[in-house]
Amino acid sequence: MEYAEQLCLVYWTVDPDIDLQPICEQLAAEMPQHNFNGWLTKLKSYEPLFNAISMRAVLEHKRRTDGLVTEGASAKRAAKRSRPGGTTSTLEPASMQTASSKTSSQKALPPWAEDLVWPKPPPRSQADERSPNKFAYTDDELSFAEEWARTTWILEPNISRKAMSSKLGKLIPWHTGSSWRTSIVSPPSIRKYHGDFLALKKEAIKEREARIAGTFPTHRDP
């Protein structure tokens, strides 16, 4: 199990969105005393443990990603200062171009959505930890999730529940993506918490259509 824990930590640090299938496939190949289904069942039986590992991996992934962007920006500033005559170049390392393009794509909004404002995630200090690495959803977290989901659906009406849950898991990482999907974003028949996300999605798509058509009032309208 210790190896399985370390393998999950490595996989999820590299890609927090990855599911258990490739992990269990590798475990079955390297430790064939359990087949794929056996490893999958075993890992799921330790769900609290692997939820905690997932949380650690997401935080480490974010730390490494933020560090890469910061280091890239510092290197670019240093390169500009070292050029004679204050000349600058438009060339950037490929890794930095990737980070810059990701940041730009996240912030750029189409003209019909320029007045939209992304909600700010609530701080960890308000989290309701019932037991080690077990958190209940707070009203602030649910309100944020609803507002964030509405904005997301206005911009991306076809986004999958899995993608939404994964993003929520990165914004509020003490709840895993799996927890968000099961408790909040899933169909009402199995969702545990209040708020009709299906109705919210319909409202968001209706607002999107009105914005694109130019019939939705904004703060700039007279």
The 3-class SS string of the chain reads: CHHHHHHHHHHHHHCCCCCHHHHHHHHHHHCCCCCHHHHHHHHHHCHHHHHHHHHHHHHHHHHHHHHHHHHHHHHHHHHHHHCHHHCCCCCCCHHHHHHHHHHHHHHCCCHHHCCCCCCCCCCHHHCEEEECCEEECCHHHHHHHHHHHHHHHHHCCCCCHHHHHHHHHHHCCCCCHHHHHHHHHCCCCCCCCCCCHHHHHHHHHHHHHHHHHCCCCCCCCC
> Where in the chain are the domains?
2-107, 111-213
Torsion region of 35: left, alpha or beta (phi above 0 gives left; psi -120 to 50 gives alpha): beta
pLDDT at 85 over 80: no
Alpha-carbon span 40 to 46, nearest angstrom: 10
pLDDT at 45 over 50: yes
Contact 168, 175 (CB under 8 A): yes
Burial of 187 (0-12, 13-18, 19+ CB in 10 A): exposed
Q: Give the mean pLDDT of the chain.
A: 75
Q: Tell me which residue of 132, 164, 140 sits closest to 151, measured CA to CA.
A: 164
Which pLDDT belongs to residue 73?
52
Which pLDDT belongs to residue 60?
83
165-185 pLDDT, tens per residue?
889 999 999 998 888 887 777
pLDDT at 137 over 70: yes
Residue bearing the bigger pLDDT, 111 or 30: 111
When pLDDT is cut at 50, 70 and 90, the band that residue 191 belongs to is low
Give the lowest-confidence range in 42-46, 74-78, 130-134, 137-141.
74-78
Q: What would the mean pLDDT of 55-74 be, rounded to a whole number? A: 69
Which pLDDT belongs to residue 151?
93
CB-based contacts of 142: which residues, under 8 Å, 6+ apart? 184, 193, 194, 195
pLDDT at 145 over 80: yes
When pLDDT is cut at 50, 70 and 90, the band that residue 66 belongs to is confident
